[in-house]
Amino acid sequence: MNSLTDVLQMLTDLHITLLETAKKKQDILISAEINPLLAIMADESKLIKKIKEADEMRMEVLEHDKSYLPLSKLIEQQPDGITKVEWTSKLKLLQRLFEEIDKVNKLNQQLIQQSLTYTQFMIEQMLPQSKDSGLYSSEAAAQDSREYARLFDLKA
């Protein structure tokens, strides 16, 4: 069962690194830097892949040692007191890390949504105001299409 302890430690370490990465991403989102955001997202993707691999190792260890039981049930059945305490503390730490990562990710999602809302607002402010209700009016056809084309040419 020592290999399960090793896998739990590996999962804990990876999740701590993932939490640190999510916090770095939060700082980058606040500063509105694009290039560091792309790099941190690539790092985050690699970490998630490593976590999936470590979780597969955990599943293999659990299926190999016992008929599959959830970790909490396996802890309850563990006769060795020291191992039981160690696994319990690692499980609780992992649960706290999951909650913290979830909180940071939700905040990051809100920051991204605010940024998108602001960007959309700024784009709407830069577009010329139409006199008519839409592009399909008889008078707006030629001039409005030229104004929209000119705006997008400037951006490119």
Q: What is the mean pLDDT of residues 61-85?
A: 74
Give me the count of residues in the chain: 156
Residue 150: both structure tokens together: 């000119």
Q: How confident is the model at residue 155 (pLDDT cuts 50, 70, 90)?
A: very low
Tell me what percent of the residues of the chain surpass a pLDDT of 90: 33
> How distant, in Å, are the alpha carbons of 38, 123, 124, 142 from that of 145?
35, 16, 16, 6
Residue 5: both structure tokens together: 């302890």
The span from the CA of 62 to the CA of 73, in Å, is: 11
The span from the CA of 98 to the CA of 101, in Å, is: 5
pTM beyond cutoff 0.75: no
What the chain holds in terms of domains, given with CATH numbers, is 2-129+143-155 (1.20.58.300)
The span from the CA of 10 to the CA of 25, in Å, is: 22
Given a cut of 60, whether residue 115 has pLDDT beyond it is yes
Tell which wins on pLDDT, 143 or 27: 27
Residue 146's region, left for phi above 0, alpha for psi from -120 to 50, else beta, is alpha
Q: How confident is the model at residue 144 (pLDDT cuts 50, 70, 90)?
A: low
